[in-house]
Each structure stands twice: as C-alpha cells, then as structure tokens.
Amino acid sequence: MIRYALRCGNGHEFDEWFASMADYDHRQSELTCPECGSGGIEKAIMAPRLGGNSAPEPAATPCGLPACASGQCAFAD
Ligand SMILES: [Zn+2]
C-alpha cells in the first residue's frame, strides 16, 4: 500500500491509500476531494525540507586545500 498526499484544484489537501502506483494511475481520474467534491485530483508536491538544524556549508576556500582554510594557502594573495 502506498499513501499519497493529494490536492484538489481548490487547494484542499488530503491523503489516500493506493495499492500501487498503477492503482493511483487507474483511479486518479475518478478521485474527488472529500472537502469540496471536485475532481482534478493530483498528487501534492512534497515540499523539500528547508532550513532546520542542518549545518551550514563550510565556506569555500580559494584552492580547497586544508592549509588554505588555515590561512596558509600558497595560492591566496
Ligand atoms: Zn477540494
């Protein structure tokens, strides 16, 4: 079973279980929104996780060598 986050044309989001991706494709045209009853149901785009606790990218250094980050880079001016 696969649970998809779905969204109707009016922006209502809901979840629906499907036996498989093929089952979703088969039933997609007959799905209706539980809130407004409209068709045109599509899979909601899963927003990628932004921000949060991830560490920031290390600052880029001119040459990428460890010595560069410590201020001893032979290529830095
Ligand atoms: Zn709706």
pLDDT in tens, 41-55: 999 976 666 666 665
> How many helices (H) and strands (E) are present in the chain, helices listed first?
2, 3
| pLDDT attached to residue 52 | 63
* Ligand 1: centre distance to CA 29 (Å): 15
Mean pLDDT, all residues of the chain: 82
* Ligand 1: centre distance to CA 5 (Å): 13
Dihedral sign (CA 17, 19, 20, 26) = negative
Question: To the nearest whole percent, how much of the chain has pLDDT over 70?
Answer: 58
* Ligand 1: centre distance to CA 46 (Å): 18
